Each structure stands twice: as structure tokens, then as C-alpha cells.
A = this chain, B = another copy of it.
Amino acid sequence: MNSTKTINLKNRPNGMPELKDFDFITTEVPELQKGEVLLSTKYISVDPYLRGRMSDAPSYIAPFEINQPIVSGMIAEVIESKNSNFSAGEFVSGMLEWKETQVATTDGLLKVDANQAPLSTYLGILGMTGLTAYLGLTEIGKPKKGETLLVSGAAGAVGSVVGQIGKILGLRVVGIAGTDEKVEMLKSEFGFDEGINYKTTENMTKAIAEACPNGVDVYFDNVGGKISEAAFFNINKFSRTINCGAISVYNNTEAPKSISVQPFLIKKSSSMQGFVIFDFVDKHPAGVKQLTEWLSAGKLTYSETIREGFETIPQAFLDLFVGKNKGKMVVKL
């Protein structure tokens, strides 16, 4: 019987996760049963939302178990198959365990075509990242041509796609990011109209007002916290906020406090809505089709940070919380 490197959750992180919360062990690869496939990992997605599953607080998705492997989006190659729908040499995407090699049932596995697009994009712009950007913006944000879209975490995997889709849809797009280099990239690579470096800007409320002279109609919020407070001072009547993430507070050990949003929502007849991509499962195929069209037509570009080697996975995950990634962070094996 073969064995494989595996990464387990060792402890539930207290606040910011640390390397010691992860355990590198060797586990056995069981014998392949009928209907199953043997997979060799190619790319592993690390995502901020995984932090939530490391806690045992109730959430939209069950927590990871202690001393069990972490699970995230992955691309793998089929090495051996006892399922007539999958053949050795094919590539699949799915929610898989942090292992170099694993046996999996084929529930939820999707074949991906290495000839149509680079394999890593199926974890990013053609995968959960792209769908989150597209469906969050269109289904919840309901943007209208000519409106102003503000994006926080704009240089991140989701944010950079949100901004580009905003431009395709005819919006004025302003992004917020944490370094001058990222802000420059928003404009030069992703076509944002304006960018704001929140780390060097003293008065964010004023900076947003200047970058959004007609106010903010749609706020795609990846970060929460103080940046969002500044955004709320600039929202327009009937504006929509898409609560996609709150990375700024994921590692807080106490429920974080912010300025109460209720008075802003009332004054502006404004809405906020949270979502996860699983809410729109029926819209995923059409979403992937649209994203693939835009990508093929050169209307969308994407940014990836690719780390290499199984051992780098936990650090790659930790680096998300200090903004070391540009665009989608994946680990290549």
C-alpha cells in the first residue's frame, strides 16, 4: 500500500492562524474501489474562507475536524480509474484533501481541459474566484451602466475580477488595495478608473469621495472593518453592498466592532447582502460560460501568485492575511 504526504488541522487557530496549527504527516493511500479514482494533486487553492472552517463556530459550511486533512479546491490528474466516466491522464477539479495522492469518489469532480486554459485558472478566474466575482456583482449588486462601483480588496483574486467585469458592464470602477504597486496594477493591468492605497491614506472617507465624485452605487466588499466604514459615508440612495468577505476581521478573537451600519442603510434606503457561491449553484454553468467567453476574447485578464511545493501550502494560506498575494494564490505541486 502506498503512502502520501498529508496536511492535517492540528489546532483550531486562536486569532491569526500559525504554522503550528498545521501538521504534516504521512497517511496511507487505500486501495482503489469500484467507482473511485486515484488522483495526483497538481494545484491547490488557498482561500481566506478556509479560516472560517478552522473554527468550530456555526457557519454556512461544517468546520474542519481536528487531526483530519484540510479540504480545499484542487486540480488533480487521474492516475488510475475504476470509474468508467474518468480515464487516467484526465484532469479534474474538486474539493479535495491536502494530500499529494488520494483516492476519491467522483461526486462533485468536474473534468477540466488543459488545452482550453491553463489548469490553474480552473481554481481562479474560471472557478470559484471568477464565479464569486461575477455572480456576486451581477446577482446581488445589480449594477446599471454608468453607476460607480467601489471594490475593497481590489487587488485580490476576487476583487481584480470584479473590477474588470465592472468595466465590461460600463461602470466607473474604483479599487482599494494595500500597496502603491497594487494600486498601480489595478489601473494598468485591470483597467480600474481609480485606486486608493488604504495604508498610506489618512482620510479614507475623503479619498473615496474624491475618487467617486458621484458617490458609490455598488460596493463590493471583500474586507469589512474600517475600510467599509469609510465606504458607508459615501454610499448613494438605493446603493447595494455585496458582502463577499471580511478578511480584516476573520482572525479577530472577539466579535469585531464597527460603526453601526443601520443608520446609513436607513438614510440611503440602501441594502447589504452576504452570499456564498453555493447559493447560486444553478447559475454556475452560465457563469463559467460567460467568464470563458470574456477570457477568450481578451476582455478579462487575471493575476496569480503561484507557490511551488507541497510544503509551502500552510505558509501560502497564512500569507493571504497579510496581503502577500496578487490575485489568486495557488500552490503548484
Contacts and interface: CB of A to CB of B under 8 A. Distances in A.
Interface stretch (A62-70, A266-274, A284-292): A266-274
A304 B263 CA distance: 26
Contacts of A267: 52, 58-60, 274
A143 interface: no
A228 interface: yes
A225 interface: yes
Interface in A227-260: 228, 237-238, 243-246, 249-250, 255-260
Interface residues of A, number: 39
B259 A255 contact: yes
How many monomers of this chain does the complex have? 2
Nearest to A250: B263
B60 A269 contact: yes
A276 interface: yes
B258 A266 contact: no
A169 interface: no
A262 interface: yes
A19 interface: no
A243 B60 CA distance: 23
B269 A275 contact: yes
Contacts of A245: 266
Contacts of A273: 265, 269-272
Contacts of A260: 224-225, 246, 249, 255-258
A330 to B, nearest CB: 23
A282 interface: no
Nearest to A276: B269
Counting from the closest, the 4 A-B pairs by CB-CB distance are A265-B274, A266-B274, A271-B273, A224-B262
Given A228-B262, A250-B263, A256-B260, 11 more contacts: A60-B266, A243-B266, A249-B262, A249-B263, A255-B259, A256-B263, A258-B258, A265-B274, A266-B275, A267-B274, A269-B276
